[in-house]
Amino acid sequence: MRNAPLKIYIAGHRGMVGSAIKRVLSNQNVEFLIRTHSELDLTNQQKVLNFFETEKPDQVFLTAARVGGIHANNEYPAEFIYQNLMIEANVINAAFQTGVKKLLFTGSSCIYPRLSKQPIKEESLLSGYLELTNEPYAIAKIAGIKLCESYNRQYGISHGIDYRSIMPTNLYGIGDKYDEMNSHVIPALILKFHKAVKSNSSSVTVWGSGEARREFLNVDDLASAVLKIMNLDLNTYKNLSSDQNSHINVGYGSDITIRELAETIADVTNFSGTIEFNKNMPEGTPRKLLDSARINSLGWKPKISLKEGLKSSYENFLKMSK
């Protein structure tokens, strides 16, 4: 029976996903090994290896990433592919080199082809062309999945390693970054509508036609899914997946149009003006709804409704703004 705390390294502990995982684990018998970006640059291979050799974590949650919305992905494709590739390669390889047996990598639903059959099954990976606006980021995330799979295939039996991947749908919640140009759609819209209310603006303009559909999951629900998958016994995990299709989708189960999302956020922020849509601006993949049958078969379901989650997000945003 283990009495010593489990040494856990959360790469990206201050990000939205990493901080949510840390909140869930904080009441368990764990010792967090955490470093800020200024303390440990994950794109620096030698520094990452030195950290692992010194700290020797038992488990790793790889949530660190360069992230952003459509604008950021379009403006900084080189940074998005380079930084994410380096982070994943350095952390996964250092984990293996220093004897870490369990690792969980969090990716993104943008890994799937732009015109995937809906809802998107895990088997759709690499079956078609990616959405161009976030292709570099998506390719980096695909590489992260394949790194985990490749290390498992080559060293799973000989070294007893078990590196897993989950692919969440669009996330929002505590820890979101609020920037109209570089954020994901929910924080960008919350900020936009909030400013409109404060300035008594009569209208708000939203990118795209408003007809693109998206699925949204609260990050606290994702954190519960992460722990569910991480703690799953190996045989059950293998029965859910395959050696070269090992990632697990984590979705909300239904989607809405961007128009409906904007209208809901307008209601949450008490905006009473008109909502206009700029069809000249990009809106990304037409639809992106995940098939979450694999994780649902384990009894996991999201608990936070979108309306409830948006209200909570806006309340948290107001606290942050004070």
Q: Is 137 a catalytic residue?
A: yes
Q: What is the DSSP letter of 133?
A: G
Please report how the helices 258-268 and 306-321 are oriented relative to each other, as an axis angle in degrees rounded to 10: 50
Instruction: Tell me which amino acid residue 32 is.
Output: F
Query: Cβ distance 66 to 22 under 8 Å?
Result: no
Residue 167, both tokens: 């692919």
> Of the listed 9, 112, 137, 151, which one is catalytic?
137
Which of 269, 140, 281, 139 is closest to 205 using CA atoms? 281
Beta strand segments in the chain, E: 6-11, 30-33, 59-62, 102-106, 162-168, 170-172, 203-207, 213-214, 216-218, 248-250, 256-257, 274-278, 287-288
The string of DSSP codes covering 14-26 is: TSHHHHHHHHHHT
Catalytic residues: 137
